[in-house]
Structure 1
Amino acid sequence: MKFEVTPLEDDIKQITLIGRMDIQGTSAIEDSFTIQTASKKAGVIVDMSQVEFIASYGIRILVSNAKALAGRGGKMVLLKPTSMVKGVLVSAGIDQLVPIYDDIETATADIKSAVTD
């Protein structure tokens, strides 16, 4: 598992996750991912289009970082998960905690409205 960070606009960054979010893959990126989401009042779009698999450990990392970011006045959203990954996230109720979007424009608009409020 690896990830790439792309700065977008107005304290919004896109983190593209690549690989399997199982215990081994998620452990490999956990600390670095947490550092990337540790900004105050920032927006993070997590592009999941290249995530092949997600296990409970991967879900935990997403939720814990989203909650921590929200506590600092920021927001995390998920972008374009594969149908299998989206099914797992929705079944676990994660979409109620971390919004899931199919396009970057809607994801960015949601973050802008939340972070600037």
Structure 2
Amino acid sequence: MDVKIDNIDGLYVIHSNGRLDASNASALDEKMRDILSQNPDKIVVSLKGLEYVSSAGLRVFLTAAKEMKKTSGKLAFAEPSEAVFKVLKMSGLDTILKIYNTMDEAVKSLQH
């Protein structure tokens, strides 16, 4: 899995691709913690390039959401593939996380 992070006027956008599983979830978790340590107001996680997410990856997402809530920051997830959305839905995280079909929808949701 590759991870790319952009900071666009204070909005962090995290792009990842490949498979997010137990073998590499800690790397994403570490990058997320680095960003969270800067107390960002807004983060969008693009799921567009992810082919697969395991429970280890879901924990990273949930941990980030909890940390953002503590600081009143806003976190959104965008562009999940059908397979990734299916895992999010089966785990019930689709009711906890803010997931949008497009990057534009996710960014707009953070502006309110």
How far did residue 56 of structure 1 move?
A: 0.5
Other-structure match for 1:103: 102
RMSD: 1.4
**What CA deviation, in whole Å up to 9, does each residue of 1:62-81 have, x standing for no partner?**
01111101110101111111
**What CA deviation, in whole Å up to 9, does each residue of 1:33-52 have, x standing for no partner?**
22123332511100011111
Q: Distance in 2 between matches of 1:111 and 1:67?
A: 16
**What CA deviation, in whole Å up to 9, does each residue of 1:5-64 have, x standing for no partner?**
11223x211100122111002123321222123332511100011111111110001011
Q: Which amino acid aligns with 2:111?
A: K
Q: Which amino acid aligns with 1:5?
A: I
Distance 1:71-1:47 versus aligned 2 partners, 3 A rule: same
**Native 8 Å contact 1:20 1:26 kept in 2:** no
**Native 8 Å contact 1:41 1:73 kept in 2:** no
Q: Distance in 1 between matches of 2:18 and 2:36?
A: 19
Q: Scaled by the length of structure 1, what TM-score is found? A: 0.87
Where structure 1 has 5 or more consecutive residues not aligned to the other structure, the ranges are: none
How far did residue 91 of structure 1 move?
A: 1.4
Q: Which amino acid aligns with 1:70?
A: K
Q: Distance in 2 between matches of 1:28 and 1:18?
A: 13
Paired residues in the alignment total: 112
**Native 8 Å contact 1:44 1:75 kept in 2:** yes
Q: Distance in 2 between matches of 1:77 and 1:59?
A: 14
Q: Which amino acid aligns with 1:3?
A: V
Q: Scaled by the length of structure 2, what TM-score is found? A: 0.91
Where structure 2 has 5 or more consecutive residues not aligned to the other structure, the ranges are: none
Q: Distance in 1 between matches of 2:96 and 2:47?
A: 16
Other-structure match for 1:18: 17
Deviation >6 Å, runs of 4+: none
Q: Distance in 1 between matches of 2:12 and 2:100?
A: 15
